[in-house]
Amino acid sequence: MIRRHPSKKVLRAWLDLEDLPDVDEHVLTCERCSDDLEALAGAEADSSIRRALEEVLAPPTGLAERIEQGVVRRLDSRRVFGYVADLFGAGLETSVLLFDQPEDEQ
């Protein structure tokens, strides 16, 4: 990783998608360079990126209902499994009490 801060010209080239692995690695952790890059890039992104992302990543129709039904099913089955495990654990505990004798009695 390069230790010196890259020049504005190099940062601009990196911002313009040039393949500069050393710079890539440097700017990931350098606060000064990340601030410089923000200044070079200008203001916030235009809203077209947001609109495009919303379009491409749009959730399918009825997602929330489907997910809720699935979650309720999962929680119900886990609860039932918990009861079974409780019964199993209680049975085991009883069997130990009934059949296992303390070591000092043996």
Partner 1 sequence: MRFLSLIFIRHFGRWSGSPVLWAVPPRIGGGISSSSMLDLTRPEDEDQEADPDDLHRLMVEHSDAVFRLALSIVRDQALAEDVTQETMVKAWLALPSFRGDSSLRGWVMRIAHNTAISMLRTRRALVSDPAEMPEESWVSERSIERRVEGALVVDEFVAALDLLDDLSRSIVVLREIEGMSYDDIARILDVPLPTIKTRLLRARRRLGVALKEWQ
Per CB under 8 A, residues contacting partner 1 are 14-17, 27-31, 33-35, 37-38, 41, 45-46, 48-50, 52-60, 63-64, 66-68, 70-72, 74-75, 78-79, 81-82, 85-86, 88-89, 92-93, 95-96, 99-100
Q: Name the residue among 19, 23, 22, 21 with its Cα closest to residue 8.
A: 23
What is the nearest approach in angstroms of partner 1 to the Cβ of residue 38?
6
What is the nearest approach in angstroms of partner 1 to the Cβ of residue 51?
9
CA distances from 103 to 77, 88, 96, 106 (A): 40, 25, 13, 5
Do residues 22 and 49 make contact, with C-beta atoms less than 8 angstroms apart?
no
